[in-house]
Amino acid sequence: MPRIAAAAYACEFLGAWSAYEAKIARWVADAAGQGAELLVFPEWAGLELATFDGRETAAGAESCIDAQTRWLPQADALHARLAAENGVHICAASALVRREDGQAVNRARLFAPSGAIGVQDKLVMTRYEREVLDIRPGDQARVFDTALGRIAIAICYDAEFPLIARAMVEAGAQIILAPSCTEGLQGYWRVRIGAQARAMEGQCITVQSPTVGRADWNEAIDVTTGAAGIFCPPDRGFPPTGILALGQIDAPGWVLADADLGAVAGVRRDGGVLNMTHWPEQQDGRLSRLETVDLRTGAARSTAAE
């Protein structure tokens, strides 16, 4: 039964590697000290890396990506070391990084205590990522086998799309991490509703870790809103609300809960409902024969004929 810690994380203008190293080490030690085995940091907080090169670099759409790309290997080495020293798995804050072809992606990394690293790029871009920053989608979804269970990562907007999580669940995912970064309450609730729906549909654990607060040095995260949450199926062996733990809006810190993967297996096998098992019944041909019926005239039109 792994203990999960979801961060509500305030991005800061740190200005130097030493300040970043101390901050991440402090956060990891805090969660590990509370017995956490899986730590989840939010989307976009990798922007803190760009602050090492000054305000102008951190504020620039292209320069901040280049700075994150330069500093990411050192940040990854830090997370790998902290994972090993504390005996924990860490989903590091996602960063905007350039691939070898020069295109930028939004990348999360999962570090195991053994030194193994898993990488997941965001698959579906928001309008801001598409239209302003030209961030490219990742080309592959992954599921990671770990000592804690089988874990997948659906970064922010990805958690709003059921087929992404469904593919992960079909590959055996028991825990889906949803690091997020949202400007207002409407964005936070879209991701939270998505995360809770994915937990219900896939009969799994989902984890939302948001950025919170103000960061006037980059317009992408100048104001962010959210609450950390750990969600579950509202079924046997779990809270009827589908909420294992939930923080306060815009309150920085860790939210922790124990994730009973035995209960996940139980509801998938013999829950009050069997969402995961019954999912294919949506695809048995009935929807392809959908009819539009005009109740004013009684006329019916099948979409299959169009």
State the alpha helices, DSSP H only, in 138-236: 162-170, 185-202
Q: Which among 42, 24, 145 has a CA at the least distance from the CA of 86?
A: 24
Helix (H, G, I), strand (E, B) or coil at 143: strand
Q: For the chain, give the number of residues.
A: 306
Instruction: Pick the catalytic residue from 43, 48, 129, 160.
Output: 43
> Crossing angle for the helix pair 185-202 and 162-170, nearest 10 degrees?
30
Whether 156 sits among the annotated catalytic residues: the reply is: yes
The catalytic position among 11, 64, 156, 232 is 156
Let me know: does 149 contact 3? Beta carbons within 8 Å: no
The helix or strand, by DSSP H or E, that contains position 116, with its residue range, turns out to be none
Whole-number Cα distances in Å, 236 to 206, 232, 259, 267: 17, 10, 14, 6
Residue 56 designated active-site: no
Is 23 among the catalytic positions?
Answer: no
Q: Which of 37, 64, 122, 129 is catalytic?
A: 122
Q: Which residues contact 191 (CB under 8 A, 6 or more apart)?
A: 156, 157, 159, 160, 178, 180, 182, 208, 210, 226
Cite the active site residues. 43, 122, 156
